[in-house]
Every structure is written in structure tokens, then in C-alpha cells.
Structure 1
Amino acid sequence: MTARACARGPLLLGVRHHGPGSARAVLAALEAARPRAVLIEGPPEGDALLDLAADEAMRLPVALLAHVVDDPGRAAFWPMAEFSPEWVAIRWALAHGARVRFIDLPAAHSLAAGEEAEPEDGGPRIDPVRALAETAGYDDPERWWEDVVEHRDAAADPAAPFAALGEAMAVLRETYGDGGHPRDLVREAHMRQQLRAATREFGDEVAVVCGAWHVPALAAKFTVAADRALLKGLPKVKAELTWVPWTHRRLARRSGYGAGIDSPGWYGHLFSARDRPVERWMTKVAGLLREEDYAISPAHVIEAVRLATTLAALRGRPLPGLAETTDAVRAVLCEGSDVPLGLIQERLIVGDVLGEVPDAAPAVPLQRDLARAQRGLRLKPEAPERELELDLRKETDAGRSRLLHRLRLLGIDWGEPVRARSTGTFRESWRLRWEPELSVRVAEAGVWGTTVLGAATAKAESVAAETTALVEITSLAERCLLAELPDALPVVMRALADRAALDTDVAHLAQALPALARTLRYGDVRGTTTAGLAEVAAGLAERICVGLPPACAGLDADGAAEMRTHLDAVHTATALLVDPAGAGAGGLRERWSSVLSRLAARDTVPGVLRGRAVRLLLDDGRIESEDAARHMGLALSPGTAPADAAAWIEGFVGGASGGGMLLVHDERLRGLVDGWLTSVTPEAFTDVLPLLRRTFAAYEAGVRRTLGELVRRGPAGRPGPGDAAAPGFGAGLDAARADAVLPLVALLLGRAGPGGLHGPDELDELDELDRPDDPNGPDALARRNDPARRDVPAGPDDLDDTNSLVEVGS
């Protein structure tokens, strides 16, 4: 086609968005026609941003982002990739000095219309590509599109595919009208107005790149008055546009240019591989598999290419498509396994490519401040998910932690906290993944301030003023400390004190205390002043100690289970609030122990809470094992209902927190449980069995096996020096070997030297040394000395029980 071909009217290039075949055909048609103006389906407000498409810092994929100025959450995207026909047309026009414009309905109107743009009574919606594929006898529209468009040589006749596709769409429009998209009629009216204006300015040397569905409407004859009538009275808002990074994964989203493609990575390969695309694709797949330590040779690649070509011939296709290459990869490179195929799907067929936009692109001030912080902290946004380990003792890692916590407070969830591998409070673990939608979240958060620190502070103060629930305000205080918001913390503290003074529900107080205790602990690590928090936390703890015993009386099973969770949380919190070395007789820990003692002795308290209270007292060393046995004997006496006795056992040894090891090493407690269990009547046993199974099912397999061996031995007692040893135990106690662990226990408890207890950071360091998976840790030593524990997974609770250390003898 020559430039004179345009004299017969504007050149209408109907395309499929994000189609590499369409992109190549558009480029060939523009090279042949050489129009003076190129009109593209898109929001006209984006015209001012088109020059940035030629910037060397622009990396595809990207998207035009339009949002309402006063309501950034109302937004729309127009994504573009290197294989998008619109992007190819923009780059061609900028390179050849042609005028380029967007001609779709302005974003100011489309954003104002919102959900009203597509009324429910618009009729069934038509997918034109699917309709044409079904007409041609294909059951897969993607396969039809590949055969007809993607595998066609665009250099043969640039105008042919557009003419054929335009005629097919004209038939569909005659049959289905607007196809269930009544808003398209308004959009097409605006496109026709822009096309008339361009024709008056440039004559017929105009090319239009738009969705093929719109071509018949642009080619048809409509009066100016009719188009003006359709556009009259449209709602309007103030909108702003900019370029934002996009990802291949998000190209499947139906927003703006979202064509819902399933394989953007494959389409990108088809567009960039000018020759031998199948061979190059197989080579790329082989390279990925070799990086993952799969044994792939050049012979595998050759055989996979042959198989894909053969499959295409058998299926009557001009060239192998994605289906044929995938089948060949599965059979040859993956040896029939779908596991490596999933990796190929994730990394290559879809891909996690993240685009970049130049610094010159318009952005809200908050976005610019975030970008500066990301560069300063060397924390680059990336599409693939990755783990980030932070050591808060390092200034850079501490800054990264502050930034991520501030963004989370603003609703920008770039990072998600995960459980750290270390138990120390100076370490954090994050899972990072940048999604394009986060650009909208940044724009929304811009209403709170122009910097990340200022916006997070303003947001925290606003939430503190509006929040009424005590647990939410304590959580906010914790988040403010993690984000290091010194100006917001006093405001939050005042709100916290007010809410705490008015709330009388013990459950609410119990939910709020752990967050305060964690906040105080974090303050020590991060060097933050938390004196006000300590005073509020102490007041909450005092009120819990007074109100908890009566609140636990008369609870049903569900209420007791919930209160047990609060009981454990408060117990942990009191340990964090008080220095064990400085707790006097009237201290908080003493008062909390008194509360647990009252709970353990009250018959009106549900069994699960009484059992849990006894267990917590035993773990803290407040009672001896003889006292625990006495409590258990009373709870499991014949006068106690079996269901209540089973609940007591659940509270005492339930869960995976070392209850099984307690029964392994304390024969008296194990005998009491065994004796009670054998005395339960068959009818009652059926009732308590579900609770008992839940209790013991939480133990590790090795613990259950050891318990079974000990129970099988029977209640005859510990074997004497001349008797055969029970499985897992020696014939007697080896005092010398038992005493050998005492220096190590003293070190773990912080009493290794004349200076007394270590500080919190040093204890955190010791926590790291006491990991269960540490081959040189103290618990590993105990397991090596004890044959019975070699198969039993170790945990921190093993070292809490002195009996477990004594029993390692012989």
C-alpha cells in the first residue's frame, strides 16, 4: 500500500489489543501508507504523555493510569506491552514525525460514569473473536486467532488482514448490534468526532488504530448531530493521568486495553523472535530447566522441536502454537511431569516482567518521596515474590523496616510480614511483591500527605480519633512504634488511655494487653521511648488480675476455649512486662500467679481453664510436680464428670507446647492420666474420645510413639538397677551426666556470671542459639545423650522442664 492509498479515506486498522500478529501488521501498514497523523484508541488526556514513549528509560510493559483527583480510588488502566499494536503505532509516529493522538472517550467522562456505564439490561455480551472462531469451526478462540493472524506473514499484503477482519466485524455488528456493550455507542461517537477533526486538518492521510470491533462504526456514515446527541450531558470529573509500571501477569486483566490474554510471555516471544520462534522458544525453556538443575541436553531441544512441528501438522495448523509447544515440552523436556511444566508456565508463558517509567512522568508528591526512599534504601520494586530478612541493628535494614511498616499503615501492602526464622526481636522477615495496583494505593494515600512519614502520621492520628475498640487502638499503637511515628504516638497514647479507662470487658482487656507488651519489647530493641505505654499496660494488667477470675466462672465450652486463648496471651504478656530479677512479692508477676492459683482451685471454672492454669504455674516453677499431680488427682477423681475431666487434661497437656514431653518424663502425671483413662466407662469414653483425640493428636509423631511404649510397659514402676531398661530409659540415674548440663542451663537462663541476668538483646542472641534445628545447640546435645529422644523433634519447651534434663542419664 502506498501513501496515495490513503486518499480513498482514513486507514482503519482494526486490531486485537496485545496481539503480536496485529502489532506486526500495524507496523507494516504504517510503513506502507506513511500517514501524517495516527489516531489511537485511548483517553485524550494522555496526549501530553505520549512523548515519554520515546524516552530511553521507559521499559515495557507500562500502563496509562487515570484517576479522579479528589477520589484516587476511582481509577482505570490502559496497559501496553511491546507487542501491543497501540504501542507500536505510538513509537512509529514519534519516530517518523507524524502527529499522534488518543481519540477514545475522555477519562473524565468514563471515570464519572463508573458502574453506570454498563447497564444490567444491556443484553448478552458478545466476544467477537470467539464468535468468529466458532463460525470457522474452532472450539478455541486463541487457537483460531493464532492460525489466522499470529502465524500470518505481515509483509505479504499489509492491508489484507485489516480488510478481512473489518468485513467480519461488520457482519457481527449487523447481527448483534452493540453486542451487549451500550457504552461503546457513546465511545464510538466521540471517536468519529475526533476522526472528522483530524481529517479536516490532515486530509485523508490519517490512520486509526483501534479495536477491530469499532471499525464498522467508524467506517459507517453518522451525522454530526447524532453524535453530539449521544455525547450531550455526560457526567464529568476532574481526572489526572500518568504512566505507571505494569506486569505481564496483569495483562490478563480486563481494564482499558486488557484483552484477557493467557500467555503474555509467549506473545512477547512471538513478537521479538523474528525467525525460528519454535526453536528459540525451546532453547529458552531448556535454559530455564537447566537453571533448576534438570538434565536437559541439546538432543532434548531438537526432539522437542520435531515433536511440536509434527503435532502442528497432524492438527492441521500452519505452525506450532502454544498448545503444540507445551505438549512437546511436557513429553520430551519434562518427561511427562507437570511439576516442571508449572515452572515454565509461571516464568515463561506468563512471566513476571515489571516495567519502568521515566522520572519525568507525572506523579503525586507521595509517589516521588516513595521512589526516593526506595532508591536510598536500595529496595527496588520487583514483580517476582521474594523474601527479605532484616537485622534491625543495622541502619539500612531498620530504615527498610520503617518504610514497609509505614506503607502498610497507609494500606500500601508492598510487603507482608512473615514469621522470622530467628526468635530474636531484632530480626524481621518480609515477603515482597510489587503489584501495579499499588500505584493506585499510593495515589489514594496522597491525600494524607506529601511524604511517606507525614502521610503515615496523619493517617494514624485520624484512625486513633475514629477507633472505639480497645484492641484496635492497641494494635495501632504497636504499628506506630514499628513504623517509628514519634508525632503520632502521643495522640494514639491519649486515645488508648481514654478507651482503656472506659472498657470494662475483661476479654477486651486481655486482647489488648499482648499488643502493648510486644510494643514495649520492640521499643527496647528500636531505642524508642515507651514510658507512657508501660503505665497504660500496667493498668490494664491490674484490671485483668481483678476481673479475670469472676469472668471465667460459668462459661460454656466455646466461651472457655476462647478464654483459654486470652489466658495464654496474658501470661506471655506479663512475662514481657516485668523483669524477672526485679519482681518483688507485690509485683505484677506475683499477682498474676495468684490469679492462676485461684483459677486452678475454683470448681466453678471450666476444666480446660483450671488445667491450663495448673500447667502455666508448673511451667513457671510456681508449683512443683507433686502439686500438679495433686491437682490432676482431684480433677480426675471418680466424682468428676468424664467430660470435665477430659477438658482438664486438654487444658493441662493439650496443644503442641510440650505437654507430650511432660507426660513422657513425669511418670506420676502419666500414671494419673492412664489410670483415669482406663477407669472411664464405655459410654462415657465414647463422649470424651473426640476431645482426647484432639489433645493427643497435636503431639509430634515421635512423642506419641514414646508415650505408647511407656504405656505398653504398664504401671509397674521404673525398672531397678538389675532390671531390663524400659525403651528410652537407662537402668538408673547417672548423676555425673545429669550434672554436666547444669552450666549450659545456667547460661541459657542468663545466670552464667557474677553480673546476674543478661540484657534483652543478649537474651535474643541466646534465643538464636537455641533453635531446634541447631546441630550444636543444647537441645541437640540432650537428644544425643538420650536414645529415646533421638527420634523426638526437639523444641524450646524441652529445656523448660528440669525433669527432661535429669532423665538423660545412662
Structure 2
Amino acid sequence: MTGLERDGGRTAGGGPLLLGVRHHGPGSARAVRAALDAARPRTVLIEGPPEADVLIALAGEEDMRPPVALLAHAVDEPGRSAFWPLAEFSPEWVAIRWALEHEVPARFIDLPATHTLAWGRDEADRAEGEEGDGSTDAGAGADGEGAEGSRAEGDGGEAGAPRGGAGPSDADLRVDPLAVLAEAAGYDDPERWWEDVVEHRGSGEGDPFAPFRVLEEAMGALRETYGDGGHDRDLVREAYMRLQLRAAQREFGDEVAVVCGAWHVPALRRRTAVTVDRALLKGLPKVKTDMTWVPWTHRRLSRASGYGAGIDSPGWYGHLFGAPDRPVERWLTKVAGLLREEDRIVSSAHVIEAVRLAETLAAMRGRPLPGLGETTDAVRAVMCEGSDVPLALVHDRLVVGDVLGEVPRSAPAVPLQRDLDRIQRRLRLKPEALERELELDLRKETDAGRSRLLHRLRLLGVAWGEPVASRGSTGTFRETWRLRWEPELAVRVAEAGVWGTTVLAAATAKAEADAVAAQGLAEVTALAERCLLAELPDALPVVMQVLADRAALDADVGHLAQALPALVRSLRYGDVRGTDTGALAEVAAGLAERIFVGLPPACAALDADAAEEMRRHVDAVQGAVALLADASESGGRPADDLRSRWQTVLHVLSVRDTVPGVIRGRAVRLLLDDGELAQDEAARLMGLVLSPGTPPGDAAAWIEGFVGGGSGGGMLLLHDERLLGLVDAWLTGVPAEAFTDVLPLLRRTFSAYEPGVRRTLGELVRRGPGQRASAVAAAGSGLPGFAAELESERADAVLPVVRLLLGLGGTDGPERAEENVEPDRAEEDVEPERAEENVENDLAGVTG
């Protein structure tokens, strides 16, 4: 007599042990373990792609830590892929581990991935033909379920829905077995029903096979009523499973255990002819596939991620599986620990009271034990004082969670992935599921290497890191990245493998291909900047040649002005990264010359939108010329000629009547800021524009260009009495019928000022033209910041802080001053020229 027969694992008619489960259900996982311990089968068959049989042994290695996923991708099209996620509380993972521990053969018996991926491609092609759009939702599989492989909620029905699948979905017709059974039991929430009948049921008590017999009977009734549940792919998958089950029975007899979605159990139990099953599989499309293990996260197991077999609370289910005794007390202790880390006052008394409340709520609601609903209500009432804000943190960090699994280094991987792993270990840059910010100092070799890696991965489309603005410094030696590793990035790495076997080689090849395929000049200049950031010396000559060719052919001044700033910004990286930017400077200088010649004609006869866009180009060129002149001067070339030519262009723009007012006003302002235009002349030009002969709309546009909020024009009006008087006089003289037309533009101009600037300007205007000068000059007038003369005592109080900012030491002596130097500069010796550059960069950040 076999073990299955002794322990009652089979039905009355005999046959294999069929363990129908809910994927990612801790109750099912515990029941599977108990049933396997009792039955002791000779082999275990598991729902999953057979290509992964060779990877099962890796699940027993010490470095393998769930959640993980089986990843299958098409060899010729790595972006077409499918995932089969497994958590510690997944019944399939428990079955795999049991088989390895007991040295029992384990096999996957679902439809092979070679058919699944090809099937999804055919459906995507049909969708493209029907809809006329090849783009599809990467988060939806061909069966309308999640990209992560796709098991149907409640039964684990689909395995391996590929990424990129599309087409008419049967998801709306798909039967949710849990919802049907919960409704029949009088529950309005399938999750609550599942907790009551499965998760809260003790393990190891009574008959270990009873839960599976009951579930099989329920699913049998559902299959009789609903057939395939609205999805004909199940019929093909179940035919393949039956063939694999027959093969296992021929080898091991009936001492076979099958772990699969409960929805499939009636179909596997049903006797069908072998010829019928083979006929269903005949002619299935194929595609060559590779398969490996990849890390996964609890967040990607959640239903909110779009995963077809997702669960609402993977973190909670993981806790239930790992803490079978006193789960409520342990859970609320975790919640208290999290809230304490966030500086909320939570004591042990809060935990005790929350446990009591959860148990009381469960008794009032007729539940055997407190579930997630009861514990959540208790946390909200006791620990969060009724607020949903800290409760949202608990849900995000604990109920869902960001646990990231690990896979052993011996797992198969594409060469590019192995090179990436090696670089990550060398740079001590470990992938993490939780989002974090990384500050880099490019003067340090390790940080410079991290920067190069992240920039190269961005070029390859592997968006592990996203650059963000640095808080501490505006210098080019600082970078800030926001990092977060998503499981899908493993697919992106596999896709990028077509460009090379190492990160450097792949990024170089990708940059060269992108340069040739770029449509516009701005794209090529942006690519040149990224090549410098990623330090790709072999790709830069190709990109620069394409850039020079495109610049020579492009006659659009707007395109040239849009391309110049990114090109000039790249020149700044030579000092910090040690990159030769000579060729870049030559191309940038040529672009600037063409802009100088073509800008005045391009600014004529523009409508309001085009004028505003061109004004932004003028601002960008102004900053680019300043940087380019500095770079030219540091490179041994004269910079005065470049600046003077640009100032000549601004003079032309400021006085030409055919140029829109917003551009003329900005040209006057830029000349005034550079000291190339006296205040008297600026006041004269403003007076001419604001004279009664100028249309109010054109005058308002000129003011927008001259003192627009983003240019610091408010401070200019604040300190120049004549300019403020001209604006005030013109504004009060605008006819009533024209005032409504110019009001939106004026509102946009002045609303961008800082609140303090607006308040002070309003105070000056309220005092009136005759009293402004006296109000500014009078001491104690009540106007903040003004006095009759310099107050020496207040000025002296600021000097120590200024000396510290400049690194000159404070009043406490050079020793104390040295201690107060910014930490990143005290860490290592900096060359005098570099130190002066750093001080200038920091002061630029302070003064805005």
C-alpha cells in the first residue's frame, strides 16, 4: 500500500494526490506542507513552465531568498517576457522546498513558456492589425491579466501571460472563483471569506487532506456551472498538464502529488483520451526562450501593481505565514515599531489596547480570529488617533511592503547582467526596493564610478536611478540620484544585452546608434551631454561628427538656440571628470556664431506664443554664452570677442521695432545686468515704450520681458525709483477698455515675485510718487530694510558669517573657522583653483 493510500490522500477511485491551492495564500502553503508530510509522494508536480525544471535546484541554495520570480524571455526579443513570482508563503515555493529537503524529484507541468510567449506575440500582432497601433500596455498580458505571469485571482489559473500582450481581453467574462464562493457563503468580501475559512484555520489538526477535498468539490461545482470560466486558454493548459501527469504516473505510479490552482483540479481529475489532449496542443506557435530566477518584491505581488494573481496584502500574508502563533500580537508590535521610527508616540499600552480592541471587533463581527480589517481598525483608533495619514504609512510599509528577494550568483544570466552584478559589488551599490536618495561627490573615485554606472544604465534604458536637484551645492562636482530597483529592470537589462556584453560596450554602441537615428539637433546635443556624463570616450567622436553635420544643415535658429545650452553645459564636465572637451567647444562656438547671425531676423513678426518661446531661447543663449566664454578663456582663447558679439545682437534686438515687446524688454534687461547699458538709457527706452503711442498690449509684453518674475525684476523695481515710477505712471494711464486685455499678462509678471518683494513694492506704490524717495530715506519709517544711512553695528554682525562662507575663518580664530568649513571640503585637500571654483559655485547657489 502506498503512502498516499495509507493517509487517505486519494479519492475513493484512487489516483494522484491533487492539491488545489490559491497562489500566494499562506493558509494554502501551510496546508500543502502538512499534506506532503502526511502523503510522502515519490514526486511533486507543480504548476509552472517546464523549462524551469533545471532551475529548481537553485531554490535550495543558501543565497536564494524569496520573493523571487522565474523570468522567461524570448531570445530574439528580450522585451517579450513573462514572470512567475513566488513568495515564501506561496504554495508552489513550499512544495519546491519540501521536494528538495526530502530529495524528491520536482517538475513543472504547465504549458511551456516557448508556447506562452509565442501565443502572446500572435495576440499582440492581431491587436495591432485591428487597432492600428502597435503600442500596448506592458502591464497587461494577452489574457487581460498581469504581466507578471499571470495567475488568475483565486485559483492561479493563468501562468505566464507575457509582457506586451494585448488584444480583446476576456477579463470581464472571467469567473473569480473566490468571489463566487464568498457570495454563496454570504460574504461581500472574498478576502475576508478566505481569511475566515482558510487563513484562520489551524494547521496540522485533523485530516490534512480535508481542505483540498472540500475545495475540489467546490471548484467542481463551479466548473460544471461556468465551464472554462470565460477563458479558452485554460483548456489548452489543462490538456498539457494531464499529459505530464500521465507521464509521471507511468514512472512513479499513483504516488504523485500535484500542486496547482484549485480551478484546474476538476479538469485534471477528469478522464480524457490522450488523443484529444494532443489534438488541443497541435500546431501551437513556438519561440526560443531563456529562463532564470530574478529578485521580486512584495509590492509587485500586490493587486495594485496590475498583477493578475495579485493579493491585497502581501506583507500581511507573509506575517501570517511566518508567525503562526499569536499573529495579532506580533503584527501590532511591528506596527508600533514602525510608528516609533517615524517619531510617533506609541507605548506598550497602546499595543495592549489595540490587541484587545481587535479581538473585540472580531467577536462582534462573528469572525474566528482578528483579521487584517480588525487590526487595521484597531491601529487607526488606538495608535493613529483616528487619522488615516499614519495609517497609510502602515499600509504602504507593512501591509504591502518593500521586501526584495535575492537570487544566487550561480543563477543563469545574460553576460550584461553578470557584468552589472560585478560592478555593483565593486562600487558597493546594492539594488534595493525601497526608494532612497544617493549623494555623490565626483571628486571621489567610488562616487565617480557610481555616477558613470548610473548614467550608462540610463543610456541603455535601465532606469535604476533618476537624477534630481542637489540640495547642498550647485557645483558640478555634486550629483544626487533617486534610486529604486524594480523587478522589470531585469528585463530591461536582458533587452540591452543586444548592444554588448559589458555595460561600457553596450552603452557605447547604444549611444552611437542613437546619434545616427536622432531626428533633431537638440537630441544629438543632449546625447553628447549624456556621453560625457557617462564617460564614453569611444562614442563621443561619432556623436560629435553627427552633431557637426546636423548643425551645418539645420538653419532653424530656434533649434540652434535649443541645442546650444546642453552643449555648453557639457563643457563644464571636463574639469571634474577629466574629459577632453576641445572638439565640443569648437562645435559650440560655431553654433553660437550662427545664432548671432540668424537671431535678429528670426525674431521679427512673431505672434505671442512664438515670441514667448523665442524669449526663452534668448535667456538660454545668454547663459550659454557666459559659460562658453569662460570655457574659451580657460582654454587659452579670447572670450571678450564672443561676449561683445552677443551684446551687439542684444543691442539690435532692443531697438528694432519689428521685434516683439517681450524680446525687446528682455534684451534691454540683459544689457542692463551686464553693465552694457546705463540706467539712464534703460529708463529712456522704458519711457519710449510706455508712452501713449505704444499699444497697451505691446507695452505690457515689454514689461514682462524686462521685469518678468523669473528674472529678478522685482528687486530692480524696488531699488530703481525711476523705473518703478515709469511703470506706475503707465499702468495708471492705461485706458479702461484696454486694461482688461493687459491684466492677465501683468498678473503673470508680478505674481511670480517673492512675497516680500510684492509687499514692499505695494508699500512703495501706496505711498505715492511724491513720498517714495522720502520714505526710503527716512529712518524708522516702518518700511523693512530701509534706513537713513548704513548701520555699522548691524553690518559688522554679518561679517563673521560671510567670512565663514568664503572659507576665510570667523572671529573665533583660524582653528574654529577651519572646523566650520563645509565637511566635503575638509575631507580632502583641494587645489587652490578648484577651491576657488567651489566657493564661486556655492556663492552662486546662495545668491540665487
TM-score strictly above 0.5: yes
8 Å Cα contact 1:76/1:255 also seen in 2: no
- Rate the CA distance shift 1:745–1:59 in 2: closer, same or farther, 3 A: closer
Deviation at 1:736, TM superposition (A): 7.3
* Correspondence for 2:225: 175
The residue type paired with residue 725 of structure 1 is S
Q: Deviations over 1:444-483 (max 9, x none)?
A: 0001001000000011111112223110011111000100
The residue type paired with residue 78 of structure 1 is W
1:61 and 2:67 aligned: yes
1:692 and 2:746 aligned: yes
Q: Helix, strand or coil: the match of 2:107?
A: strand
Q: Distance in 2 between matches of 1:572 and 1:435?
A: 38
The residue type paired with residue 517 of structure 1 is V
Q: Helix, strand or coil: the match of 1:387?
A: strand
8 Å Cα contact 1:254/1:260 also seen in 2: yes
1:466 and 2:517 aligned: yes
8 Å Cα contact 1:574/1:589 also seen in 2: yes
8 Å Cα contact 2:558/2:614 also seen in 1: yes
Deviation at 1:664, TM superposition (A): 1.1
* Correspondence for 2:118: 112
Q: Distance in 1 between matches of 2:440 and 2:235?
A: 54
Q: Percent identity?
A: 73
* Correspondence for 2:672: 618
Deviation at 1:525, TM superposition (A): 2.1
1:392 and 2:442 aligned: yes
Q: Deviations over 1:24-80 (max 9, x none)?
A: 010011011110110000000000000011000011100000000111000000000
* Correspondence for 2:216: 166
The residue type paired with residue 609 of structure 1 is I
Deviation at 1:348, TM superposition (A): 0.6
- Rate the CA distance shift 1:670–1:121 in 2: closer, same or farther, 3 A: closer
1:293 and 2:375 aligned: no
8 Å Cα contact 2:474/2:844 also seen in 1: no
Q: Distance in 1 between matches of 2:401 and 2:805?
A: 48
Q: Distance in 2 between matches of 1:747 and 1:242?
A: 56
8 Å Cα contact 2:303/2:312 also seen in 1: no
- Listed as ranges, the matches of 1:65-464 within 5 Å are 65-114=71-120, 116=123, 118=143, 120=168, 124-156=173-205, 157-252=207-302, 259-421=309-471, 422-464=473-515
Deviation at 1:257, TM superposition (A): 8.4
8 Å Cα contact 2:435/2:482 also seen in 1: yes
Deviation at 1:734, TM superposition (A): 3.4
Deviation at 1:764, TM superposition (A): 3.1
Q: Helix, strand or coil: the match of 1:371?
A: helix
Deviation at 1:354, TM superposition (A): 0.5
Q: Distance in 1 between matches of 2:795 and 2:727?
A: 30
* Correspondence for 1:804: none
* Correspondence for 1:634: 688
The residue type paired with residue 204 of structure 1 is D
Q: Distance in 1 between matches of 2:195 and 2:346?
A: 29
8 Å Cα contact 1:251/1:258 also seen in 2: no
Q: Distance in 2 between matches of 1:506 and 1:747?
A: 45
8 Å Cα contact 2:85/2:296 also seen in 1: yes
Q: Distance in 1 between matches of 2:834 and 2:231?
A: 65
The residue type paired with residue 3 of structure 1 is L
- Rate the CA distance shift 1:742–1:22 in 2: closer, same or farther, 3 A: closer
1:598 and 2:599 aligned: no
Q: Which range moved further: 723-732 or 560-569? A: 723-732
* Correspondence for 2:595: 544
- Rate the CA distance shift 1:147–1:743 in 2: closer, same or farther, 3 A: closer
Q: Deviations over 1:582-640 (max 9, x none)?
A: 58696111111111111111111111111111111112221122222112111111111
* Correspondence for 1:26: 32
Deviation at 1:657, TM superposition (A): 3.3
Q: Helix, strand or coil: the match of 2:524?
A: helix
The residue type paired with residue 298 of structure 2 is H
Q: Which range moved further: 575-584 or 645-654? A: 575-584
Q: Distance in 1 between matches of 2:844 and 2:528?
A: 31
The residue type paired with residue 720 of structure 2 is D
1:13 and 2:19 aligned: yes
Q: Distance in 2 between matches of 1:36 and 1:580?
A: 75
8 Å Cα contact 1:252/1:258 also seen in 2: no
8 Å Cα contact 1:713/1:726 also seen in 2: no
Q: Distance in 1 between matches of 2:794 and 2:305?
A: 70
Q: Deviations over 1:396-454 (max 9, x none)?
A: 10000000000000000000000112110110000000000000000000010010000
8 Å Cα contact 2:26/2:321 also seen in 1: yes
The residue type paired with residue 386 of structure 1 is R
Query: 5+ residue gaps in structure 2?
Result: 124-141, 144-166, 808-830
8 Å Cα contact 1:6/1:35 also seen in 2: no
8 Å Cα contact 1:79/1:256 also seen in 2: no
- Rate the CA distance shift 1:689–1:551 in 2: closer, same or farther, 3 A: same
* Correspondence for 2:774: 719
Deviation at 1:655, TM superposition (A): 2.3
Aligned match of 1:728 in 784, 793, 805? 784
8 Å Cα contact 1:388/1:432 also seen in 2: yes
8 Å Cα contact 1:710/1:726 also seen in 2: no
TM-score, with length taken from structure 1: 0.91
Q: Distance in 2 between matches of 1:727 and 1:199?
A: 94
Q: Helix, strand or coil: the match of 2:63?
A: coil
8 Å Cα contact 1:78/1:255 also seen in 2: no
Q: Distance in 2 between matches of 1:410 and 1:161?
A: 49
Q: Helix, strand or coil: the match of 2:175?
A: coil
Q: Which range moved further: 564-573 or 396-405? A: 564-573
- Rate the CA distance shift 1:735–1:758 in 2: closer, same or farther, 3 A: farther
Deviation at 1:581, TM superposition (A): 9.7
Q: Helix, strand or coil: the match of 1:450?
A: coil
Q: Distance in 2 between matches of 1:127 and 1:485?
A: 52
1:556 and 2:607 aligned: yes
- Rate the CA distance shift 1:443–1:676 in 2: closer, same or farther, 3 A: same
8 Å Cα contact 2:302/2:400 also seen in 1: no
Q: Deviations over 1:262-308 (max 9, x none)?
A: 11000000000020100110111111111111111111101101111
Q: Helix, strand or coil: the match of 1:413?
A: coil
- Rate the CA distance shift 1:22–1:729 in 2: closer, same or farther, 3 A: closer
- Rate the CA distance shift 1:669–1:759 in 2: closer, same or farther, 3 A: farther
Deviation at 1:15, TM superposition (A): 0.5
* Correspondence for 2:139: none
Deviation at 1:724, TM superposition (A): 6.3
Q: Helix, strand or coil: the match of 2:257?
A: strand
8 Å Cα contact 2:300/2:307 also seen in 1: no
8 Å Cα contact 2:304/2:312 also seen in 1: no
Q: Distance in 2 between matches of 1:512 and 1:93?
A: 61
1:576 and 2:627 aligned: yes
Q: Distance in 2 between matches of 1:744 and 1:173?
A: 79
**Superposed CA RMSD:** 2.5
1:3 and 2:51 aligned: no
Query: 5+ residue gaps in structure 1?
Result: 751-756, 773-794, 797-810
8 Å Cα contact 1:67/1:240 also seen in 2: yes
Q: Distance in 2 between matches of 1:76 and 1:158?
A: 34
Aligned match of 1:652 in 706, 709, 720? 706
Q: Helix, strand or coil: the match of 2:572?
A: helix
Deviation at 1:153, TM superposition (A): 1.5
* Correspondence for 1:672: 726
8 Å Cα contact 2:4/2:17 also seen in 1: no
Q: Helix, strand or coil: the match of 1:129?
A: helix
Q: Deviations over 1:628-667 (max 9, x none)?
A: 2112111111111111111111111112331111111111
Q: Distance in 2 between matches of 1:453 and 1:289?
A: 44
